[in-house]
Amino acid sequence: MTDLSARRLLLVHAHPDDESINNGATMAKYAAEGAHVTLVTCTLGEHGEVIPPALRHLTGTELGEHRLGELTAAMRELGVEDFRLLGGKGRYEDSGMMGIADNDDPACLWQADVDTAARDLVEVILEVRPQVLVTYDPDGGYGHPDHIQAHRIAMRAAELAADAGWEIPKIYWNRVPRTVAEEAFARLRADLPGLPFGKAATVADVPGVVDDERITTVIDGTAYAAAKAAAMRAHATQIDVAELYFALSNELAQPLFTTEYYELVRGERAAREESDLFAGVAGAVTVKEAS
Ligand SMILES: [Zn+2]
């Protein structure tokens, strides 16, 4: 049961690991403060690549099952109890990068009818009644079909839920300010010789990078840096973490951001620079002290 007197945050993501990379510190912070945090993940990443050689035999449903275990462990690290799979386990499978033949498979998320998938999410929205929704921008942050589709489903579900009686007061897209990304990559290039990664990614590899002036909201997750890193480590088939950096299966090092950034796209901006996703939301001010 959802406590409807609490602050309620809903996040919609494409694959296990995206939530920890994009919002791990935010999720840990709000969970620790007593907010109800709900994660909806659209697929189990059944067709993705596997980093540890010992687990590379896992494919399809077996890999999805393993990744559900990793997601469960990651949510334990973040203190998030309410995590769900869109439409139930196995309803939507993941797609590959744009243009590959696998994306024609009718089981994959890219082929899903947006309205049908959105209705699966509307059920969650009407139950949880979130004051805040977080998802990707229309490009999915970096053009991955599943991320684009997750964006479409989340935005459509918000519309359908409003028609059905719950209008989400604030909707945000995941962002990284360009100057922050550039500075982090400069540090990364200096630190690279001491890291277990051969090469560095570039700013262009980071999803959601935009000009600084588009950032409306900054969540300082410094106190939750360890929880975020632990959640990312829990996704061992997809992420290698070392100090303040990580790499995906392409083995290119990227900075691990513990301050997380957002662009408000629906609802009223409460301050020039918000430091709380719930800022200005009526009835969302009660905060349980983090212990
Ligand atoms: Zn993803």
**pLDDT tens by residue, 26-68:** 999 999 999 999 999 999 999 999 999 999 999 999 999 999 9
CATH architecture of structural domain 8-266: 3-Layer(aba) Sandwich (3.40)
17 is in an annotated binding site: no
Q: Kindly give the distance from the C-alpha atom of residue 213 to the centroid of ligand 1, in angstroms, as a whole number.
A: 26
- Asked whether the predicted pLDDT for residue 286 surpasses 60, the reply is no
Alpha carbon 196 to chain centroid distance?
A: 25
Q: Kindly give the distance from the C-alpha atom of residue 67 to the centroid of ligand 1, in angstroms, as a whole number.
A: 12
Average pLDDT, the chain: 95
253: its two tokens: 């090092």
**pLDDT tens by residue, 218-243:** 999 999 999 999 999 999 999 999 99
205 is in an annotated binding site: no
- Asked whether the predicted pLDDT for residue 109 surpasses 90, the reply is yes
Output the CA torsion sign for 200, 71, 26, 118.
positive
Mean pLDDT of 158-168: 97
Q: Kindly give the distance from the C-alpha atom of residue 146 to the centroid of ligand 1, in angstroms, as a whole number.
A: 7
- Asked whether the predicted pLDDT for residue 289 surpasses 60, the reply is no
d(C-alpha 31, C-alpha 40), whole Å: 15
Mean pLDDT of 75-99: 94
Output the CA torsion sign for 129, 136, 232, 87.
positive
Alpha carbon 63 to chain centroid distance?
A: 20
pTM of the model: 0.95
Domain boundaries, the chain: 8-266
151 is in an annotated binding site: no
Q: Kindly give the distance from the C-alpha atom of residue 147 to the centroid of ligand 1, in angstroms, as a whole number.
A: 6
Mean pLDDT of 136-152: 96
Residue 1 CB partners (closer than 8 Å, separation 6+): none
Nearest by Cα to 155 from 176, 175, 138: 138
Mean pLDDT of 75-98: 95
d(C-alpha 97, C-alpha 15), whole Å: 13
